């Protein structure tokens, strides 16, 4: 399974990078191959200063070795070996009219003393973070997520949408990071769902990603915007940074397993503002966004 999924995300990285380069029309991804001293490595691809994308990364990695002590405590196990691979991406557009997007699909194995797999699971998800709310974009993104989920289990979308709203929640701000999507973790084999079933589900989501995001980019990338719109975008990006550094499990996992810092922190946007006690103007479109972030909505039935 680990070889099968790693081959899949290698190909998916190529497909997603090509689709984003086409949408940008100018910038290309820069590739950076790296190795982890304890075992494994990855292929980081970063796009910067494009026509559409100010900064973004589409990274894959496959790492293995001894499970760090901090992770032993998290999983409530003793010494063990592990393998983890996944694709992780964050794309920050230049225009505040185009939403930021994040996605991650991953697979994890843990091994006993004899080298046999004693635990394995899939995890991941994708979510959209707009700076200006276009409801039809939110509905489109969620509909693609729902359609992909429904091919496998009609319970998946409502369950993983709810988990996404709960996970990407800046509790210290009492608001969501964005308008959600899907989030799932520790998806293990059961009587009703084999690991092969989980593989088919996760790859269904990966295959549908460009359909969920690229049409939104193409629809909004030519819209005009002002310096005030850009300032609002940078303020909201600050909330994005806060979530990633304070709450995000993937970032913390990378930092605690001696992950590659440049690849982990590629999720951070290049231009951010923190303005003291900033509040949007009453009745403004900015306030409309914040209202949705404090009370997550159902975007599709």
Is 80 exceeded by the pLDDT of residue 73?
Answer: no
Q: Is the pLDDT of residue 161 over 80?
A: yes
pLDDT at 2: 96
Selecting among 64, 92, 102, 140, the annotated active-site residue is 102
70 pLDDT exceeds 90?
no
The pTM (predicted TM-score) of the whole model is 0.95
Closest Cα to residue 186, out of 68, 45, 76?
Answer: 76
Distance CA 129, CA 289 (A): 10
For residue 263, the model assigns a pLDDT of 80
pLDDT for res 103: 97
Tokens coding 157: 């979308």
Backbone angles phi, psi at 210, to 5 degrees: -65, -30
pLDDT digits (tens, 9 = 90+) for 228-257: 999 999 999 999 999 999 998 878 877 877
| Closest to 213 measured CA to CA, from 132, 92, 128, 289 | 128
Residue 104's pLDDT is 96
**What is the sign of the dihedral through the CA atoms of 301, 208, 198 and 177?**
negative
3-state secondary structure of 229: helix
pLDDT at 1 over 80: yes
Percentage of the chain exceeding pLDDT 90: 85
CA-based radius of gyration for the chain:
19
Query: Is 142 annotated as catalytic?
Result: no
Mean pLDDT throughout 18-24? 98
DSSP 79-147: S-EEEEEEEEEEEEESSTTSPEEEEEEEEEEEE-TTS-EEEEEEEEEEEEE-SS--HHHHHHHHHHHHH
Query: Which pLDDT belongs to residue 168?
Result: 96
Q: What pLDDT score does 112 carry?
A: 83
Give pLDDT, residue 264. Answer: 84
pLDDT band at 189 (very low <50, low <70, confident <90, very high): very high
- Domain 2-294, CATH number (from 2.60.40.10, 3.40.1500.10, 3.30.1490.20, 3.30.420.40): 3.40.1500.10
> Is residue 80 pLDDT above 90, yes or no?
no
User: Which tokens sit at 69?
Assistant: 């002590």
Which of 8-17, 44-53, 75-84, 215-224 is predicted least confidently? 75-84
């Amino acid at each position: 399974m680990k070889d099968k999924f790693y081959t899949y995300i290698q190909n998916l990285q190529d497909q997603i990078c090509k689709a984003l380069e086409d949408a940008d029309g100018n910038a290309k991804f820069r590739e950076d191959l790296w190795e982890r001293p304890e075992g494994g490595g990855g292929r980081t691809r970063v796009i910067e200063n494009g026509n559409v994308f100010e900064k973004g990364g589409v990274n894959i990695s496959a790492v293995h070795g001894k499970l760090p002590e901090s992770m032993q405590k998290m999983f409530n196990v003793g010494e063990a070996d592990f393998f983890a691979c996944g694709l992780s991406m964050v794309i920050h557009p230049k225009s505040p009219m185009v939403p930021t997007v994040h996605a991650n699909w991953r697979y994890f194995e843990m091994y006993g003393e004899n080298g046999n797999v004693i635990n394995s699971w899939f995890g991941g998800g994708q979510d959209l973070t707009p700076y200006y709310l276009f409801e039809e974009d939110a509905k489109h993104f969620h509909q693609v997520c729902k359609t992909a989920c429904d091919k496998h289990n009609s319970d998946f979308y409502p369950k993983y949408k709810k988990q996404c709203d709960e996970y990407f929640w800046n509790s210290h701000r009492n608001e969501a990071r964005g308008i959600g999507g899907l989030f799932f973790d520790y998806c293990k084999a059961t009587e009703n769902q084999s690991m092969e079933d989980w593989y088919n589900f996760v790859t269904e989501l990966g295959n549908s990603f460009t359909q969920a995001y690229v049409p939104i980019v193409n629809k909004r990338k030519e819209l005009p915007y002002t310096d005030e719109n850009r300032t609002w975008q940078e303020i909201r990006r600050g909330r994005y940074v806060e979530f990633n550094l304070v709450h995000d499990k993937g970032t913390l996992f990378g930092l605690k397993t001696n992950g590659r810092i440049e690849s982990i922190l590629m999720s951070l946007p290049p231009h951010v503002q923190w303005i003291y006690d900033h509040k949007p103007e009453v009745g403004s479109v900015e306030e409309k966004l914040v209202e949705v972030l404090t009370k997550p909505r159902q975007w599709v039935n």
